Structure 1
Amino acid sequence: MRRSMMGRKKLQLFTKRFYPAGNYTWIVPKGCTEVDVFLVGGGAGGDNESGGGAGYTKTFKKDKTGWRDGDAVMVTPGELINIIVGTGGSSKQSGSYSQFKNSNYRAGGGLSAMDSSGHWAHGGNGGSGGGSEGYVKSNGGSDGSNGTGDVPGIGQGHTTRDFGEPSGKRNAGGGAGKNSYTGYTGGVGGTSDYTEGKGLGSQGGGGYGGGGYSGNRGGDGTVLIRYWAYEE
C-alpha cells in the first residue's frame, strides 16, 4: 500500500466509470502517474433473426492478475485526457470503439449480425458472440464466449469482466438470436443499472457493450479507470 504524503494529504485509491456513450475529459489529479484502464466497445445491433456481437474489451493495468492486454497507462498530473465511450449500433450496425487518451488504448465495437443468404442469419462477432437464427438453441455468448445457433458469432475468447479480474462485474453479453423451436436469451453482462442478468430488451445482452437482438440496438460501451492520487 502506498503511504506517500503531501502535507496532511495521503495517496488514496480511486475508481471512476465513464458511461453512457459520449466524449469525456479527465484531468489527471495530483500524485497520479499511472492509471489502470478497462475499456468496453459499443455492442452491435441485431438483425431481424440474429443477435449482434458484444463490444470487445481491453485491459491495461499494472497488476498481472487475471487477463491484461498491456501495462498501466503512464500519465502526468494536470494532463487533460480525452475519453471516448462507444455507442451501441442500431439495427444491423456495428458498435463504435471506446478509447482512453489515444488509439493505443482502444477497444473495438461489436460486429453486426449478418443477413441470411440462402442460409441462417449469422450472429455477430465481438467480445462475446451473438446468437443466430436456426433450428438449434441460439443464445448470445457471455464472458468472451461464442454465441450459439446454426451460425453463431465468435467471442474474443477471454473474460469480459472489469479489469480482466475474476472478481470483476461481467460486461459485453452477446445478443440473442431468434429461434422458433426453443427459447433464446442474451448473453450475461452488466445491465444499465450495473447488476448482472440476462437481457432480452432493446439493449440485448447487457448495458455495457451488450449486443442487440432481433433488430434492436446494441448497448453502449464503458471506460473504467483505477488510480492512486492524493485524497481530495
Structure 2
Amino acid sequence: MLRKLKALLLIPVIVIASCNGGSKAPVSDTSKPETPVAASTTKTILFFGDSLTAGYGLDDPADAFPNQVQHKIDSAKLPYTIINGGLSGETSAGGKGRIDWLLKQPIDVFVLELGANDGLRGIPIKETTQNLQAIIDRIKAKYPNAKLVMLGMQVPPNMGADYVNGFKNIFPELATKNKMALVPFLLQGVGGVRSLNQADGIHPTAQGAKILANNVWDVMKGVL
C-alpha cells in the first residue's frame, strides 16, 4: 500500500517535468502577465536646411530657430520632436544629395529651408527649383502621409530685379504645386536689421532666431 501511495505522489512531478521540457520550474506561478508597453505616440519633425537651420555662429546651438520652435511645441504640449537637419553652406543640390540619409528615420512633418545659398551664388532659378522639387518628391515617395512646410527666402536687390523676383517666386510656386504650408519669408522682421544679425549681416543672433521661430510657428501651429 505504501509503495502504491509513493507511486501516485510521483505522477504529478513527472507530468510537470514533461510539460516544462525538462527545464526548471518557475520560481512562482502566481505572477501576473506583464502589461504591454504602449508604442510611443511622439511624432517627428525634420527641419532640413542650411546654416540658418543649423544655427551658424550662435554661442549656443540650442538657440537655433528649430530649437526655439521645439520650445513652443513643448509649451503647447504637442507630441512632436524636432530633428535639426541643418548644414552650413548647404545648397539645393547638396540637399538633394543628402536627403536620403536623413529619411532612414520616420518623418511625420517635413520643413524645407533651402535655397538661400543658391541665391547668393546666382545659381539659375530653374536649377534651384528642380533641386527643391526633387527633395520634395523623395519625401512624398518615402512618407506620403507626411505634412510639408516650405520656408520662403529672398535675395538682396543687388542680384538684379529679374533674378530677385524669380527667386522669390520659387517658394510659393512650389508650395502651391505640392500642397505645402508656406512661411512667405523666413527672415521677416530680421533681414536687414543690424541689431538682430551677427557681424556678417546674414545670420541672425539668438534674439533674431527667436523671431524666425515666431515666423515659423505662426504657420506651423496650424499644421500640427
* TM-score after normalising by structure 2: 0.31
* TM-score after normalising by structure 1: 0.31
Hey, which of these two has a bigger chunk of strand by percent? Answer: 1
The answer to which structure, 1 or 2, has the higher relative contact order (CA under 8 A, 6+ apart) is 1
Hey, which of these two has a bigger chunk of helix by percent? Answer: 2
